[in-house]
Every structure is written in structure tokens, then in C-alpha cells.
């Protein structure tokens, strides 16, 4: 951005859509004078943001006027009772997610650092194209180019406490959320199949996050 001219930046800025957070601040009158002027300038131009704001105002009005009924409260209680019965009711999961996070970060960094597109293009189909193993060997991941030219990313971990953790995977425009599920007595695993048409040109444009 260093050499980009300020004129160009200002010219483009008025056409940039407002984020939901900015629109909420605008709705709640929490923007300062300058923020308000910038948001107003865009809202005068943009039908989409103007309508988004209308929806958000509708939400605020609905919440303001809503009266919680006995039925609502009972249904909410029932929902929570239902969660308790579910196998995946795990208030402790957050702690496990925090422990799992550095592993996934390590995997993502390794992918970006090491992965080369040629490894896929030049190899036979149906083979493992890349393997990753965390330093302590707990998390493993590998890529397989299938015979139909789709790519499958496999995640496998030897810590059963990670069962139920959800991973959001993105490669270029392709996105998918998967959940680590028990696979035998020793591992939890998940896989993401990326159809051929969704394969990114830049294979290092990847993000792997824990939800």
C-alpha cells in the first residue's frame, strides 16, 4: 500500500461496503462525528448497505418491543435440557479447543510454507501428495489427489478429547466446516473433499481454523 496514492484510497473508500459492526454502531448512534459522516456518505450511495441498515433497525425495534413469554422461556429451557442429553454437550470443549489451536496453526503454517502446486499437478492420481505430522505426533494431516481429480484433506489426531471440535477449512473460495469424530479407539478424524472445480489456483491460499 506504500506507494498507493491517497487520492485513490479516498476515492475507493466511499464505495466500500460498510461492515455489519459499523452499521450496528451507526444504528446505535455510537459512531463519532467523522465515522458518522463517512458512513452517511456511503449510505447515500449504496442500496445494499441501506437495506442492511433497515434490517438491523428492524431487529433493534423487534428486540425493544418484544416481551418474553412463558412459552419462550419454557422452550428455551427445553432446548437446554435437550443439549444435556446430547453426546456432544461439552462445556469443557473450550479448554480443548484452546489446546488444539496451536496444532492447527502449525499445520496451516506448514501447508503454506511447504506446499507446492507442482506436487499435485505432476503426480499420479490416487496418491498421498503431502503429509504433515506435528512435532509430538498427535496431529496428522495428509492430502490425497483422487482419481476424479478432487482433492481430499485428511485430519487425524490421537487425542480423543478433541472429539467434537469443529474445523473450518478454506482453500481459495472453497469453504467447509468439518467435525473431528471418533475413528476406532485411538483416534479422532475428519476429512474435507474438495471437488476439482473448486480447487484453487493458488494452493497456498489456505486457512484452517478451529471453531
Partner 1 sequence: MEAGSKKNSICTDKVDRELVTLYRKGDERAFVSLLDLHIALIKYWARVVLQKAYWANPEDLVQEGRIGLWDTAKVFDVSRKGNFDGWARRSCIGRMFDSAEVSLVKRALRKRLKKVAAAQDELMKQLGRMPTLVELAEATNLSVEQVDAALNALAAFTLPIDDADGSLANEDPYQFQLIGDALNQLTEDQAEVIIRYHFYGHELKEIAKALGKSNENIRQIHKRAKQKLRDIIYGKGNRRDGIRGH
Among 7, 118, 136, 185, binds partner 1 (CB under 8 A): 7
* Binding residue (CB under 8 A) for partner 1 from 122, 137, 173, 184: 173
Mark 116-145 with x for binding to partner 1 (rule: CB under 8 A) and - for no binding: ------------------------------
Reduced to 3 states (helix: H, G, I; strand: E, B; else coil), residue 38 is: helix
**Size of the chain in residues:** 211
Distances (CA, A) of 156 to 110, 181, 186: 16, 9, 10
Q: List the one residue out of 141, 72, 145, 61 whose CA is nearest residue 108.
A: 141
Pick 49 or 145: Cβ nearer partner 1: 49
Q: 3-state class of 39 per DSSP? A: helix
Interaction between residue 45 and partner 1 (CB under 8 A): yes
C-alpha cell at 187: 483416534
Cell numbers 418491543: residue:
65
Segment near partner 1 (CB under 8 A), from 1-9, 130-138, 149-157, 181-189? 1-9
Helix (H, G, I), strand (E, B) or coil at 154: strand
Give the binding site for partner 1 (CB under 8 A).
1-7, 9-11, 13-22, 24, 32, 34-35, 37-39, 41-42, 44-48, 50-52, 54-55, 58-60, 62-64, 66-70, 72-77, 79-80, 83-84, 91, 93-94, 97, 173, 175, 211
Amino acid at each position: 500500500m506504500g506507494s498507493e496514492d491517497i487520492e485513490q484510497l479516498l476515492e475507493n473508500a466511499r464505495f466500500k461496503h460498510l461492515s455489519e459492526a459499523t452499521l450496528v454502531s451507526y444504528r446505535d448512534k455510537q459512531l463519532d462525528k467523522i465515522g458518522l459522516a463517512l458512513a452517511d456518505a456511503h449510505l447515500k450511495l449504496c442500496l445494499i448497505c441501506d437495506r442492511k441498515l433497515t434490517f438491523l433497525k428492524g431487529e433493534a425495534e423487534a428486540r425493544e418491543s418484544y416481551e418474553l413469554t412463558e412459552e419462550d422461556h419454557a422452550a428455551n429451557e427445553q432446548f437446554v435440557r435437550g443439549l444435556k442429553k446430547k453426546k456432544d454437550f461439552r462445556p469443557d470443549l473450550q479448554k480443548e479447543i484452546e489446546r488444539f489451536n496451536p496444532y492447527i496453526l502449525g499445520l496451516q503454517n506448514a501447508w503454506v510454507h511447504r506446499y507446492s502446486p507442482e506436487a499435485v499437478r505432476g503426480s499420479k492420481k490416487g496418491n498421498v501428495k503431502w503429509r504433515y505430522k506435528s512435532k509430538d505426533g498427535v496431529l496428522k494431516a495428509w492430502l490425497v489427489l483422487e482419481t476424479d481429480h478432487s482433492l481430499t484433506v485428511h485430519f487425524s489426531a490421537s487425542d480423543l478429547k478433541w472429539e467434537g471440535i469443529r474445523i473450518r477449512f478454506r482453500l481459495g473460495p472453497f469453504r467447509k466446516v468439518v467435525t473431528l469424530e471418533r475413528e476406532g479407539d485411538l483416534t479422532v478424524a475428519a476429512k474435507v473433499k474438495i471437488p476439482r472445480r473448486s480447487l484453487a489456483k493458488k494452493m497456498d491460499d489456505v486457512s484452517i481454523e478451529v471453531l
